[in-house]
Structure 1
Amino acid sequence: MPSIELHTVINATIETVFDLSRSIDLHKISTQQTNEEAIAGKTSGLIGFNESVTWRAKHFGIYQNLTSRITEFERPNYFADEMEQGAFQEFKHEHHFSEVNGETQMIDVFTYKSPFGVFGRLADTLFLEKYMTKLLIKRNRIVKEFAESGKWKALLK
């Protein structure tokens, strides 16, 4: 199974970064290129333990629905979401947060399994892992921008 690990250092409090990372509204902002829309479950605000969200998004020219649930939650240090229904055979996205020298270290670990056996593994190698990495990097860039600029105040009321 492919695993993507990203490290992002953010000059903001751990609580702010943690909450931005679970903000449905910020997720919508960070995925404008795929027209993501929360259509069921928690559709705005902050998602919490055992809550789910269903996203509708356009990837590779095809609209898809994906439902994920928060399965682990330890504010402000860690949460994980796992796919319940969607295009992957399975995925788990772990979000780790720690304070280091007055800044927040955010570590994402995204592990997934593609469907379709050998064809899915071929897709991983050819383009899917790179595509998913780019999506996560963009999302983290937006979290960092909002946390460091004060824009977070409009989302975390």
Structure 2
Amino acid sequence: MVTVSTEIEIKASIAVCFDMARNIELHTKTVWRHTQESAVAGRTSGLIGEGEFVTFQAKHFLIRQKLTSRITDYNRPYKFVDEMISGAFKSMRHEQEFIDLGNRTLMRDTLHFEAPLGLVGWIVERVILKGYMERFLNYRNKQLKELAERAV
């Protein structure tokens, strides 16, 4: 299993950051365009909440794939966790934490994932996927930061 952690400070309230991070439409607009990501099942618009699930379809490494995750932990506006219930990974858990810094918010992502295919998957996790997923989260978080700071 591999863990990727990112942090970004946003000049917006914790409530704004929390709600923007769980907004399905914003999710699809803040990821890399070449992935052509869209919500195709479950909660496909609006704010995802406790116990709900979403299926995203996207293209990664030129392969169209689907990933379904459920919100398994929810404490507005401080934290929510989504866990994969089906998809390309053997397992995936994404924790998003929000820390109130007054007129700013620290948004922290921690992504734990494990690739299938035993030893081959273990190598791919470390050689390819770890950096890819870190770049993916950092890009998305920078886009969220820009949108949140413009909304204030």
Instruction: State TM-score, norm by structure 1.
Output: 0.93
Residue in structure 1 matched with residue 89 of structure 2 by the alignment: 88
**Structure 2 residue identity aligned to 1:5:** S
Query: In 1, are the aligned partners of 2:11 and 2:103 still within 8 Å (CA)?
Result: yes
How does 1:42-121 map onto structure 2 within 5 Å? 42-121=43-122
Deviations 1:103-125 (A, max 9, x none): 10111100011100110111112
Which ranges in structure 2 are unaligned for 5 or more consecutive residues?
A: none
Q: How far, CA to CA, are the matches of 2:43 and 2:103 in structure 1?
A: 32
Q: How far, CA to CA, are the matches of 2:21 and 2:74 in structure 1?
A: 12
- Once the two structures are aligned, what percentage of the paired residues are identical? 42
Instruction: State TM-score, norm by structure 2.
Output: 0.96
SS at match of 2:148: helix
**Structure 1 residue identity aligned to 2:141:** N
Deviations 1:29-78 (A, max 9, x none): 01222001110000011000000000110011110011000000000000
- Number of equivalent positions: 151
Structure 1's consecutive aligned runs of 4 or more residues displaced over 6 angstroms after TM superposition are none
Q: How far, CA to CA, are the matches of 2:26 and 2:107 in structure 1?
A: 16
SS at match of 1:112: strand
Let me know the Cα RMSD of the aligned residues. 1.0
SS at match of 2:48: coil
How does 1:5-44 map onto structure 2 within 5 Å? 5-31=5-31, 32-44=33-45
Residue in structure 2 matched with residue 140 of structure 1 by the alignment: 141
